[in-house]
Amino acid sequence: MPSWFRQETCLPAIGPIAALKALIGSPNHAHKGWVWEQYDTQVGADTIRRPGLGAGVVRVHGTKKALAFTSDVTPRYVRANPYEGGKQAVAEAYRNLTACGALPLATTDNLNFGNPEKPEIMGQLVGAIKGIGEACAALDFPIVSGNVSLYNETDGKGILPTPTIGGVGLIADLDGLIAGLPAEGDLALVIGETRGHLGQSALAAEAFGIEAGDAPPVDLAAERRNGEFLRAHGGLVRAAADLSDGGLALAAFELAEAAGLGVTLDSAGIAQLFGEDQARYLVACTAGNAAKLAEAAAAAGVPLATAGSFGGETVVLGGDAAPLAELSQLYRTAFEKSLNLELA
């Protein structure tokens, strides 16, 4: 494995709002409405959560049950550390289902790699499978189907290792669905521990073209504990999102923007705002419910911290700020502009 993957990630100086703009202005993290608006997402009238924010949710017709679906992988992580990257793909799928109140049931894998006759590619494949298997066992999230696509190369150069994990979860009663949006005055809380891991982060890649450092480590015991905690206390939460690419700042912006609200995050630290530590969720709830959640978290030994609040018409990251309208315009047009797909 190349030694530069393991080097310390030291990023050039950047302000929090400039960092957020680098993410939401990139085709990888901009709003993808142009894609799903090309077809009818309401066929059968059972779609409960439309595309655009976390896992999709579809009602089991004629019942109060629903199924949640997601697919996840971060190829940068897998290339840097196939074992941790494989674990992370499963863990992120688990979190996306949990964040909408679903109990993760099963996964399917789609193992996309280059030429396995090359030792480094075979190493990626073996490491990723080991990580995937360990995560599925630890999270009680078995693989029930899948496929493999190998020899994906152009001019002898392989694609990034992309072991995609598709996940399905069950919402036994729609009263347990977490699919709301933040409301004015809601607090923003983070479940899980934040250390500020910037290795292989979306910010490093999008703002500076840097893909160095190790993938974030995945603590599977913490993933399960924190996920079970959120599902058990979902009734206290108005909205939830897992923290992955782009960290806290991107997740908070996406939730706030969908609600047409501003958001204030107290930290000004780039690592705290954009670090991609795993086993974390952002939740929005009233001040009263936040107190109840904090009490429950302390009793369960689950890290919980207040990160800020939702409301107003401005996005404030530490001491840096920009109007929500300006950022929303960038977020909702960057994808089409990057591919010359602007609608008439």
Annotated binding site for Mg(2+): 147
Q: Which residues are annotated as a binding site?
A: 109, 146-147, 149
d(CA 329, CA 344): 16
Q: Report the sign of the C-alpha dihedral through residues 9, 13, 17, 23, in that order.
A: negative
Residue 323: what are its φ and ψ, rounded to 5°? -65, 140
Answer for the pair 80, 213: CB distance below 8 angstroms, yes or no: yes
d(CA 304, CA 277): 14
d(CA 162, CA 158): 11
* Residues facing 321 on adjacent strands: 316
Length of the chain: 344
Q: Report the sign of the C-alpha dihedral through residues 308, 309, 312, 315, in that order.
A: positive
Q: Which residues are annotated as a binding site for ATP?
A: 109, 146
Q: Which residues are annotated as a binding site for substrate?
A: 149
Instruction: End-to-end CA distance of the chain: give it in Å, rounded.
Output: 47
